[in-house]
Structure 1
């Protein structure tokens, strides 16, 4: 799986394409500017709430409400930017193997499929926003239509982005054929309503397995694959008004807790830009660089520390690889081994707060965010120790004759330089635990802290990079939140169908009791991590499986750690896991080079996961009460 990518972009050769490029440029500038501006406003609003409440003891009652209104607009405008830039997550394994002509046609069909959903949902989205105008918000005392209007406006703007994208990258013949194929499929499903009426619960397999799989493997972005399947199921097999689906979409994208997603994404980019990541890694390298496999241990430790700051694994890896890899290659490390270890550490550190997946689990299951943050530290240590054992074995005969040992004085100097960066994860966690800020607000403390450290201490703050970072934040946040919204609607459809009852019955009857339930959960979420990635899998199955886990006697924090680590292994396991290809991309290493090295690291991760699953104390030992 990967982010959908642009077809080979060349200078337009016909007037229609040239016009589309010009219109898209202006349209993109406006959308990106709006998205970037909302990210900045969100940071200012939330941080002002923290300052007013904690420093001035004069809480601002309207900050959360305004942040919530802006968040839905950020999610929808970010989704527009992501669609225009080709940043929506999609399975590209089949596309990448296809011939150029076939690939271009499939990409055109994927855009047409997304366009079909947007066209179908536009009227229900308008109806939903119209109904919301009667609801008045308690603090600002404005109509909720100001917030809900983001959905129809966002859908309309995504239609514009999709149409411009079609004419930018596809020929008129490809566009006509793709629209015809899409229209024929939609009409065929609509005409087959008598068949769906006879199938009963088998419709779940047709729509939520068949349609989702067909769309995903055809290259349709994950969010739109979920949306098409859910819309089709509700519209063709139930009496549910489509405005209800829009409501569930809104519900999924409106958890204020998830506002932490874009803010931590931006924080991840900020620590790389200010030089904080480089300082941290430099200190760790001075400590361990002279031992066999030392820089590999530094890589594992650096990913542990960086993951305590950034919410994006790609951002984590992008901060570390350019700093460590050149020196590691000088010492004879194979590029394939480096990218395999980098990928494995991505899976290892999934539970380290403030992980986006932890925040998502808390938002959709009701598990305490503070408990998840506390419980996530030690499981990552256990998996890290397992990875270190593989590093030790593979580097036991390394030649260290040309490696410099840093004197204590220089190590001390590097420690002082790195100290502000090293303190950041502890500042973030302490702010949540001590009640200074919520899990959403704490990201703004990290942002202000990092900006000041970059400006005052490290003297590195490239103002020219600020706008691209904000745009990237808006785009990635929009792509993620649209998946969350569509997956929430899909999960609601599954629940209303009685699927949750059937699933509960199946899981309750698994032999082996608590351990049998954990074993089947590990297998299921490794597969889901490969196919769906963490956030959509959690949104879809978290509300269904966590109550079953509690009934089976599994502590909810323990279960969360097992689920997250299982998904992480799937996410970073080739040949399907997108995380592996992300590691290859930031490392500039061909994916085939890492395949022969990654098996040992994945085996170590599985061993660590089994230890975490078998010993609940690893996840719950430090919880209060």
Structure 2
């Protein structure tokens, strides 16, 4: 039997959604959804899918994922987050709603070091949510702003999602890092403005103006940590190291800071840190394998071609295509982790974007920013789940504030679609050959 494109798409997507609704873990659901087609179509065998899974692991660039996770875990365990919070307090704590601004600013600083939103939500949330509660902030707002600001970890370089995107789509990771800088700062600025409005309306307190001595002390205590993005992003952009090598450097540098410079990590702690990193990395990498098999089947049955033909027939234009792409990433992000979504949906939509005349860097940023929203939107919403657990609230109690805070971030996403130079200007300036 030869399965048609429409039937194959229905079986794959329908089977996957059914398994997710039955609470089967996403990585397993992706693999199990492919089995009916293997049985039905004479051209397919289980060995083809297994081969595709193993081929997805044969990528040097994917080694960057566990090492960036290790760097983030070492930063949190080494209490480097505390030093970044002190610096953020000096920079923005004197504004109305001081700790809210500190929350956003430390997420921007941490994003430039770890590349992981979940590490940001956990590390910063454990300190800042209780502190904001003590200062009289509404717990729902404290949880919402912690969760929403943590998504900058996947937009501001270095970013694990950008490493995966570059490896899957064969795009320069260094150029992607540069492409995310301006949109990431814009998201940070929109969140700071949102905190300001909340603080004015609700009368949230400031933390007081710092003295020059306090400012210098906070900067000097955090300067070594702030050098991490210089080594990571700078090394890739200058062509000195590969993304994987830069991730190893970040992890090694974080270990040196924790063990020997700040002495906040002991050799006994390393076993637990390595175990946690290995556990999270294995989940991500297994999902990459099953998502690759799922995405390959979509391509095998020419689902991308069907989508391109449909959009071409209706002639929605460049901006219309961008809106459809963003909507699909936002929809998938509600249910699936970002990494398998990149492999499944990114590879399917890449020819759609190319057919509409969209630059690959712009396509990448639309996808990555859209997927960032999935970290704070139920039912997946991993960062929201982490922050809610820390604040002792149910997710539904926080949703109203999350929606309000996400509105300025959606405006930034629309600006990225409307003004491609927001994404392309920095890569063209620094790495024109890669663009």
Deviations 1:201-240 (A, max 9, x none): 3432442122111111111111111111112212322322
1:516 to 294, 302, 320: 320
Structure-2 residue corresponding to 1:391: 195
Q: How much is the aligned-residue C-alpha RMSD, in angstroms? A: 2.0
Change (3 A) 1:403 1:491: closer
The offset of 1:307, in angstroms, is 1.5
What is the aligned partner in structure 2 of residue 495 from structure 1?
299
2:130 equivalent to 1:314: no
Matching residue of 2:25: 221
- CA drift of 1:296 comes to 1.5
Cα distance change on mapping 1:455 and 1:475 into 2, 3 Å: closer
CA contact (8 A) 2:95 2:206 kept: no
Relative to structure 1, the CA distance from residue 405 to residue 512 in structure 2 (aligned partners, 3 Å threshold; closer, same or farther) is same
Per-residue CA deviations over 1:278-317 (Å, capped at 9, x if unaligned) read: 1111111123222202221221121112122223322111
- Which whole-Å deviations, capped at 9, do the CAs of 1:547-596 have from their partners, x for residues lacking one? 33123121111111111111211331235533321332344443233123
Change (3 A) 1:361 1:400: closer
- Which among 477, 488, 510 is matched to residue 281 of structure 2? 477
Q: Tell me, in whole angstroms, the C-alpha distance in 2 between the residues paired with 1:283 and 1:263.
A: 26
Q: Paired residue for 1:411? A: 215
Q: CA deviation at 1:620?
A: 0.6
Deviation at 1:484?
A: 0.7
Residues 1:460 and 2:234 aligned together: no
1:183-262 equivalences under 5 Å are: 197=1, 200-262=4-66
Matched-pair contact (CA < 8 Å) for 1:286–1:411: yes
Q: Residue 124 of structure 1 corresponds to which residue in structure 2?
A: none
Partners of 2:418 and 2:206 in 1: CA distance: 43
Change (3 A) 1:291 1:402: closer
| Aligned partners of 1:253 and 1:482 also within 8 Å | no
* Unmatched tracts of structure 2, length 5 or more: none
Runs of 4+ in 1 over 6 A off after TM superposition: none
Contact 2:175–2:237 under 8 Å retained in 1: no
1:70-124 per-position Cα deviation (integer Å, ceiling 9, x unaligned)? xxxxxxxxxxxxxxxxxxxxxxxxxxxxxxxxxxxxxxxxxxxxxxxxxxxxxxx
- 1-side partners of 2:281 and 2:312: how far apart? 36
The counterpart of 2:404, out of the listed 594, 600, 613, is: 600
The answer to whether the Cα contact below 8 Å between 1:273 and 1:462 also exists between their aligned partners in 2 is no
Alignment of 1:430-469 (within 5 A): 430-469=234-273
- 1:17-166 alignment runs, 5 A limit: none
Deviates more, 1:579-588 or 1:423-432: 579-588
CA distance in 2, matches of 1:401, 1:591: 26
The aligned residue for residue 194 of structure 1 is none
Query: Is 259-268 or 565-574 further displaced after alignment?
Result: 565-574
Q: Do the aligned partners of residues 367 and 198 (structure 1) sit closer, same or farther apart at CA in structure 2, a change above 3 Å counting?
A: closer
Q: Does 1:577 align with 2:381?
A: yes
Gaps of 5+ in 1: 1-196
CA distance in 2, matches of 1:510, 1:268: 45
| 1:424 lines up with 2:231 in the alignment | no
Contact 1:203–1:233 (CA under 8 A) maintained in structure 2: no
CA contact (8 A) 1:350 1:357 kept: yes
- After superposition, give the CA deviation of every residue in 1:1-51 in whole Å (9 maximum; x if it has no partner): xxxxxxxxxxxxxxxxxxxxxxxxxxxxxxxxxxxxxxxxxxxxxxxxxxx
What's the CA shift string for 1:337-370, capped at 9, x where partnerless? Answer: 1111122113344222221111111111111111
Q: Deviations over 1:114-171 (max 9, x none)?
A: xxxxxxxxxxxxxxxxxxxxxxxxxxxxxxxxxxxxxxxxxxxxxxxxxxxxxxxxxx
State whether structure 2 residue 177 is matched by structure 1 residue 373: yes
TM-score by length of 2: 0.93
Structure 1 range deviating more: 584-593 or 472-481: 584-593
**TM-score, length-scaled by structure 1:** 0.66
Do structure 1's residue 364 and structure 2's residue 364 form an aligned pair?
no
Could you report, residue by residue, the CA deviation over 1:35-68 in whole angstroms, capped at 9, with x for unpaired residues?
xxxxxxxxxxxxxxxxxxxxxxxxxxxxxxxxxx
Q: Which secondary structure state, in structure 1, belongs to the residue aligned with residue 33 of structure 2?
A: helix
C-alpha distance in 2 between matches for 1:237 and 1:571: 36
Q: Distance in 2 between matches of 1:410 and 1:324?
A: 20
